[in-house]
Amino acid sequence: MRVLAPRTLMALLSGARALTETWAGSHSMRYFHTAVSRPGLGESWYLEVGYVDDTQFARFDSDAASPRMEPRAPWVEQEGPEYWEEETQRATGLAHSFRGNLNNLRGYYNQSEADPPKTHVTHHPISDSEVTLRCWALAFYPAEITLTWQHVGEDLTQDMELVETRPAGDGNFQKWAAVVVPSGEEQKYTCHVQHEGLPEPVTQRWEPSHESIIHILGIVAGLVLLLVTGAVVAVIWRKKHSGGESMWSEFSCPTVTFKSRWKFVLPR
């Protein structure tokens, strides 16, 4: 916000008084300045508006076809072209200054250029027959990004859950998209990520982690050990009840078949 010099303020208030016939009491003149950065390295937008009390009387918009300070109240239109030219030059200088400040802030937050997203897919079982695959995009800038799930090349836009892009708290952004798929068919689904920080779109699919593989192998090894132990116990039990005679014994379990020759004498 900027406060105008007393001489200019009095001149404008005098014009307002002449047209509105209101003068009693205190008055104020304020200018509000807004600068907004754009995606990528585009030039930022600058807006400046001036108020006398609660009435807007002037406006400068850098996005206008011909950016100039323009009147917004009838009583200020009486000011000559020199005044508006001076105000335009002043606003143009401030716009340049604000853009420099925004660039400094972007450099402070390491946003002088686009930051590509860090992407991965997580796996969340729902039931014995379904799982949720969630595609993550983290630590990217600017905020514009596209996440799309595909099943063997076909877009699943209507079937996926997509959250709004969210600030990460450090000047970057994050987003995810999820889809429910049949268990065992996870490898048929791919997530496609497009962002200006990426030289080309990224394709991700769920890959079982090393921990998951080790866990599965541990379960399989445990089952095999259990079957082998059960088979040995069964053989000993049968031999114990066979009277100690030499014989061939054979039995089968669901996955292992044992055939062995035993000969021993039980104590009397």
Q: Is the pLDDT of residue 261 over 50?
A: no
Q: Is the pLDDT of residue 157 over 80?
A: yes
Rounded to whole angstroms, how far apart are CA atoms 144 and 120? 18
Q: How confident is the model at residue 218, as a pLDDT?
A: 63
Rounded to whole angstroms, how far apart are CA atoms 159 and 8? 62
Half-sphere exposure of 48 (CA within 13 A, CB side): 24
Taking the whole predicted model, whether its pTM rises above 0.75 is answered as: no
User: Among residues of the chain, what percentage have pLDDT more than 90?
Assistant: 48
**One-letter amino acid of 96:** H
Question: Assign residue 224 a region: left if phi > 0, alpha if psi is -120 to 50, beta otherwise?
Answer: alpha
CB 70 within 8 A of CB 56: no
CB 192 within 8 A of CB 201: yes
When the candidates are 3.40.50.620, 3.40.50.300, 3.30.500.10, 2.60.40.10, the CATH number that belongs to 2-108 is 3.30.500.10
Tell me the backbone φ, ψ of residue 160, rounded to 5 degrees.
Answer: -105, 155
Mean pLDDT over the full length of the chain: 80
- Token pair of 196 as six digits: 């200006």
Residue 67: pLDDT band by 50, 70, 90 thresholds? very high
Half-sphere exposure of 255 (CA within 13 A, CB side): 9
What confidence tens digit (pLDDT) does each residue in 226-259 have? 787 877 777 777 777 765 544 444 444 454 444 4
Judged by DSSP in three states, 90 sits in helix
Task: For 118-207, give the CATH class.
Answer: mainly beta
Residue 105: pLDDT band by 50, 70, 90 thresholds? confident
Q: Name which residue leads in pLDDT, 89 or 11.
A: 89
Residue 23: pLDDT band by 50, 70, 90 thresholds? low
Tell me how many degrees the CA angle 6-8-9 measures, rounded to the nearest 5. 60
Half-sphere exposure of 36 (CA within 13 A, CB side): 9
Q: Is the pLDDT of residue 181 over 70?
A: yes
Domain-by-domain residue ranges, the chain? Answer: 2-108, 118-207, 211-262
